[in-house]
Amino acid sequence: MVPPEPRRERSYAHMSPTGTTKIPDVARALQNEPLSQRRDDGWWRHAVVYQVYPRSFADGNGDGLGDLRGITEHLDHLNDGTPSSLGVDAIWLSPIYPSPDFDFGYDVADYLDVDPRFGTLADFTAFVSASHDRGLKVILDLVLNHTSHLHPWFEASRSSRDGPYADWYIWRDSPGRSLTGRRRRPNNWRSWFRGPAWTWDETRKQFYMHTFLPEQPDLNWRNPDVRAALMNVVRTWLERGVDGFRLDVFNVYFKDAMLRSNPLAIGRRGAWSWQRHVHDRDQPELADALLEMRALVDSYGGKMTVGELFDNSVVAAAAHVAPHHLIFDWLLLTTPWSASRFRAAIAAREVAFGPDRWPANVLSNHDQSRHATRFAKDGVSVAEGDARAKVAAAMLLTLRGAAFMYYGEELGMRDIVVANSQAFDPPARRASFLFPWWNRDQSRAPMSWRGGPGGGFTTGRPWLPVSPDVSDRNVARQSAEPDSVLSFYRRLIWLRRETPVLGEGGQEVIEVGDDDVLAYARRLGDSSALVLLNFASRSARVQVPPAASGRGWRIAASTHEHDAAAGALGPTLTLGPLEAIVALDA
């Protein structure tokens, strides 16, 4: 079966129908922080962060679902202190909290516990200390915009209009009935997961607001008790030893105080894009709340956050960056396989971020089609797709910024195909002509550890099918092949660890005489690196710029064989098809 064509479906990253480039006021307020005076020199700047989707990584008890024990047992793959492991610096865990799974953990029923299917708090403690023993930091996903509708706070809130939790969510009366007798909603806001953002509650006889599913009611961040409770969540996990947080859709925490309707817009397919989202996110009050959270996180020392911006504007993303706090922008995630498109994207980011703000680079995550699939959409062979995956790896791991990778990308894992009718992903089950949705199950297949029925992921029945290519593409097999995607990731990550200019240096994109070659230099003090990435399936003759040190370039990593004597680069060079070279000044 041919995988669904993501371009025609809703891409999760295209959240802003208007492609806004305006800096929201809240971000402007944060921009006033004296960024350059407080130079951010924490571990996260040069870090490679590995995202684990806990359901799909490793099953320690044979029930078909991944769990904490499984993750702990596989930490050697991530970093055993030697170049035969990946060598990453940190693990980001997608939510592990108790959840009824309407959005697979992104609907939290208890912020302070671990879902029994993933283990216990004791398993979590064991996981954190095993990670720390290997020098791995632990980053938790914090979903603070909304809870599950089964969270005790919401159950209490819906049960009474004047109890202690009455004002913990966003409740409103209906402003009356329409001519057809239908209850009118408080305003025109939409849910990102289809339909209106308001659901009627029969117990309270009021509407409540939800940016996502009706089973994910939005918290009322304007209520000081809510804010205090959420800060307590942050503090508790810091006390339990975590090193940072990924903040889910943080710029949606606050909505317009008067709940004004959004102005209408001409958009693409889908009602979300038919309005400008000016009142349902990016409110000025957010700045103060973020500063409070940052102060709390920073008070522990050595901790960071990375915020998921619910908007695709790189300008807005840059404006939210502050010391110790990274922001995901979506530019690289939405750029197709083309050197000139990546050159333009990188230039746009560099302009938006400037030299002081530190980007977060990411090509794949649990909401998107995997990049090895996206980049091979033009129907290239498996071998060519893998060659592109290696070029992409070289880019991800050498661009200025923290690098975030998604489990399985180190193998070149592709999406699996799951029809919407079979989907677990809730919005995919609600998909329709006017609500096109790319089924996210497809990028959440079990990790391919080795060949065989459960792919080494489980001894039971996996919750999603293992990848159809699991017997060819798995950790065991690729570990033994020096040319595999995995071996290339390992070489590059270890090179990055040992080479400060790759982790910390400034960056300049350069022209080398062939449009299909993306080239850039990194510079730190008097050391430099040169990265040459041939996006084309033909060879490319390029001009090699002189190293600033005058010492000349020597190849430190390449996708292709070079004999040792030729490891030194002359003024011109022929790159092989889909060749990536990382050279250092000798």
Which positions are catalytic?
A: 248, 308
Residue 98 and residue 115 in contact, taking contact as beta carbons nearer than 8 Å: yes
SS3 content of the chain, % helix, strand, coil (to 5): 30, 15, 55
Q: Which listed residue (249, 297, 555, 556) binds ligand GLC by CB under 6 A? A: 249
Interface pattern 300-339 for ligand GLC (x via CB under 6 A): --------x-------------------------------
Site for ligand GLC in 347-366 (CB under 6 A): 366
Cα 384 to Cα 378, 391, 442, 536: the distances in Å are 11, 11, 21, 10
Neighbours of 505 (CB within 10 A): 20
Give the C-alpha separation, 190 to 382, whole Å. Answer: 40
Alpha carbons 194 and 479: distance in angstroms, whole number: 43
CB atoms within 10 A of CB 299: 10
Q: Tell me: does residue 445 bind ligand GLC (CB under 6 A).
A: no
* Contact call for residues 383 and 111 (beta carbons, < 8 A): no
Tell me whether residue 249 or residue 518 sits nearer to ligand GLC (CB atom).
Answer: 249
Least distance in Å: CB of 218 to ligand GLC? 10
| C-beta of 208 vs 212, nearer to ligand GLC | 212
Does residue 106 belong to the site contacting ligand GLC (CB under 6 A)?
yes
Q: Is 218 in the site for ligand GLC (CB under 6 A)?
A: no
Which residues between 527 and 546 bind ligand GLC (CB under 6 A)?
Answer: none
Specify the DSSP class assigned to residue 59: -
Which CB atom, from 79 or from 364, has the smaller least distance to ligand GLC?
Answer: 364
Q: How far is the CB of 355 from ligand GLC (least distance, A)?
A: 29
Closer residue to ligand GLC (CB): 248 or 514: 248
What would the DSSP string read from start to end of 75-101? HHHH-SSSTTS---SEEEEPP-S----
Helical pair 485-498 and 382-398, crossing angle rounded to 10 deg: 10
CB of 333 to ligand GLC, least distance (A): 12
CB of 11 to ligand GLC, least distance (A): 12
407 lies in the site for ligand GLC, by CB under 6 A? no
243 interacts with ligand GLC by CB under 6 A: no
Q: Which residue is nearest to ligand GLC (CB)?
A: 106
Check residue 212 for interaction with ligand GLC (CB under 6 A).
Answer: yes
521 Cβ neighbours under 8 A, 6+ residues apart: 507, 508, 510, 528, 529, 530, 531, 545, 548
Whole-angstrom distance, CA of residue 527 vs CA of residue 17: 43
Q: How far is the CB of 270 from ligand GLC (least distance, A)?
A: 16
Q: Please report how close the Cβ of residue 211 comes to ligand GLC at its closest, in angstroms.
A: 8
Instruction: Using CB under 6 A, pick the residue from 167, 256, 292, 367 that binds ligand GLC.
Output: 367
Q: What token pair was written down for 344?
A: 């333009």
Nearest to 118 by CA among 82, 155, 93, 143: 93
In angstroms, give the least distance from the CB of 546 to ligand GLC.
44
What gap in Å lies between CA 372 and CA 385, rounded to an integer? 7
Interface of this chain with ligand GLC, residues 115 to 154, rule: CB under 6 A: 143
For ligand GLC, the closer of residues 367 and 508 by Cβ is: 367
User: Helix or strand or coil: residue 219?
Assistant: strand
Which residue lies nearer to ligand GLC by CB, 126 or 150?
150
Of 435 and 553, which CB lies nearer to ligand GLC in the complex structure? Answer: 435
* CB nearer to ligand GLC: pick between 79 and 148: 148
* Residue 103 is a binding residue for ligand GLC (CB under 6 A): yes
Q: How far apart are CA 21 and CA 482, in angstroms?
A: 44
Query: CB of residue 260 vs ligand GLC: minimum separation in angstroms?
Result: 23
C-alpha separations of 409 from 257, 331, 448 in Å: 42, 18, 11
How many residues touch ligand GLC under the rule CB under 6 A: the total is 9
Q: Which is nearer to ligand GLC, 46 or 55 (CB)?
A: 55
Give CA 97 to chain center in angstroms. 19
Site string for ligand GLC, 268-307 (x = CB under 6 A): ----------------------------------------
By CB under 6 A, is residue 248 in contact with ligand GLC? Answer: yes
Closest distance to ligand GLC from the beta carbon of 44 (Å)? 19
Give, to the nearest 10 degrees, the angle between helix 224-239 and helix 285-298: 30
Residue 386 binds ligand GLC, judged by CB under 6 A: no
Contact 98, 108 (CB under 8 A): yes
Instruction: Please give the residue ranges that form the binding site for ligand GLC (CB under 6 A).
Output: 103, 106, 143, 212, 248-249, 308, 366-367
